[in-house]
Amino acid sequence: MKLILTAPVDHVGVPGDIVEVKDGYGRNYLLPRSFAIKWTRGAEKQIEGIKRARDAREIRGVEHAVQVREQLEALTVTLPARAGEAGKLFGAVTAADIVLALKKAGGPAIDKRSVEIGKPIKVVGNHTVGLKLTSGVVAHINVNVVAA
């Protein structure tokens, strides 16, 4: 099966790559999770847009990753969440919530798959969250969860 990747997939490729995978892997894993789209001549024209979007988000080398890490660690990220009287949240803070709060705080666009939460954030207070920028550079940011 010939597919165009729309998200990075380990051991397969990066967004914009045209890959040939087994039918079951493509039909049962890549397509339902929107990691890929079926290859057609019309879809091949979308590759340029996918690559442009990837280049805008992508960390370009270790030096750039260190600069982004310094920028992220200087930010104060406040995340409002619904909480009860004792400060316990109604649910947990997700990676998508952290990325959205980071963007509102003036940070760069980060992919939610790069957010590393040690244990689920289920209480109000300060929490440290890791952001994997490259294989060797991890930014640790403080997220202040407040009751909304």
CATH class of domain segment(s) 2-57: alpha beta
CATH class of domain segment(s) 61-147: alpha beta
Domain ranges in the chain are 2-57, 61-147
DSSP E strands in the chain: the ranges are: 2-5, 18-20, 36-38, 77-81, 88-93, 115-116, 121-123, 125-132, 138-147
Instruction: Tell me: pLDDT of 55 over 70.
Output: no
pLDDT digits (tens, 9 = 90+) for 93-141: 999 999 999 989 888 888 888 899 988 999 999 999 998 887 778 889 9
pLDDT of res. 60: 63
pLDDT digits (tens, 9 = 90+) for 2-52: 999 888 888 998 888 889 999 999 999 999 999 999 988 888 777 777 777
